[in-house]
Amino acid sequence: MKVGRIQTLVVSRISDYGLYLKDDEESEVLLPNRFVSLDMKVGDSIEVFVYHDSEDRLVASTERPKITEGCVAWLEVVDKSFHGAFLDWGLSSKHLFLPNRNQQGGIIAGRKTLVYMYVDQRSGRCVATNKFKAFVYNDPPLTVEPGRQVGLLVASESPIGYRVIIDNRHWGMLYKNEVFRPVAVGDTLTGYVHRITEDCRIDVRLQQSGLAEVERSTERLLQLLERGGGRLPLNDGSDPQRVAELTNMSKKVFKRSVGMLLKRGAVKMDEQGIELIKHR
C-alpha cells in the first residue's frame, strides 16, 4: 500500500462504512462511503489516492490531490498553528501539514508556497517541506540528458530568466531570451534539456532544438493559419516581438517553418502576410 500515491486497488469487500480495497499483497484500506458510487462492486479496480485522515487512519480517496509523494507544487496556505501550517492539497477532508521545522521563508495564510511532499518515516504520514536540499539537487548522477523532454515547474524569476524544477528532481534555468510565450512563477510546463555543464548546471528550453523544433513549429504554424481563416499577418520583415506574440516562436524558427511550407507549396507570402493555399 503506497501512502501518498495514486494507485489502482481492487474492491475486496463491502462494509457499512464503505468499500475495502486491497493491493497485490492483500493489504486493505477503506474507501469511505462518500467516495463510493452505486455501481461499484467486489472485484472492481478503482484508482485512488491513499493517505492518513485526521484521526490517523489509513484511508483511500477518489479525489485527485494537487501533489503526490516525491513531487513539488505551489500550494495555498489555508491556516497556521503553533506547530506549523496547513496547505490546500486538493482533498476536501484534510489539509497537508507543513511543520515549523520544514519551513523556510515567510509562510503567510492566503498565499501560495512552493513545497515538496514526502512520507515521514516515523509517522508514515504525508508531510510538506520548503527545504529542498535533500530532495531536489544537481549532484551526479543526473536523471536527465540533453534533448530529453521533461516536466518543468517555475520556482522563481530573475532578470535573466526563470529557475525551474525539472521532473521534481533537479534545478534548471530557462533563459528569458529563449522564451517566446508568457511564463509566470507557478506555471507547469513541458520543456527540453538544452545543455548540461561540467558542474551539473542544467539549461532548458520550451522548444526542441534543430530539425525536430522546426518540424513541430511548422505543424503549429499550419494550425494557426487554419484557425485564422487561412491568413496570418506576418512575413519575413515582421518584428520579432510580433512574431513571438502571434506564434510563440522565435523569428529564426518562424522563418525556417515558413520556408518549409513554401517548399511544400502549402502557402504563399506577400507584404500583407502568409496565406494558406493548400490544405493538408
Q: How many percent of the chain have pLDDT more than 70?
A: 98
Domains of the chain: 6-61 (2.40.50.140), 72-129 (2.40.50.140), 149-205 (2.40.50.140), 210-276 (1.10.10.10)
Quickly state the pLDDT bin for 279 (edges 50, 70, 90): low
Task: Give the per-residue pLDDT at 244.
Answer: 87
Task: Give the per-residue pLDDT at 253.
Answer: 84
List all residues 6 or more positions away from 86 whose beta carbon is below 8 Å from its beta carbon. 77, 78, 79, 80, 95, 96, 97, 98
pLDDT exceeds 70 at position 278? no
Distances (CA, A) of 169 to 1, 4, 138, 155, 247: 23, 17, 8, 13, 31
Q: What is the layout of strands, in order, in the sheet containing 267-270?
A: 231-232, 273-276, 267-270
For residues 242 and 217, the answer to whether their CB atoms sit within 8 Å is: no
Task: Give the per-residue pLDDT at 8.
Answer: 97
In sign, the C-alpha dihedral spanning 39, 40, 46, 50 is positive
User: How many whole angstroms separate alpha carbon 156 and alpha carbon 167?
Assistant: 16
Per-residue model confidence as pLDDT tens digits over 155-184: 999 999 999 999 999 999 999 988 988 999
Task: Give the per-residue pLDDT at 280.
Answer: 47
- Is 55 in a helix, a strand, or coil? coil
Single pTM value for the model: 0.80
Mean pLDDT is lowest, of 5-9, 35-39, 269-273, for 269-273
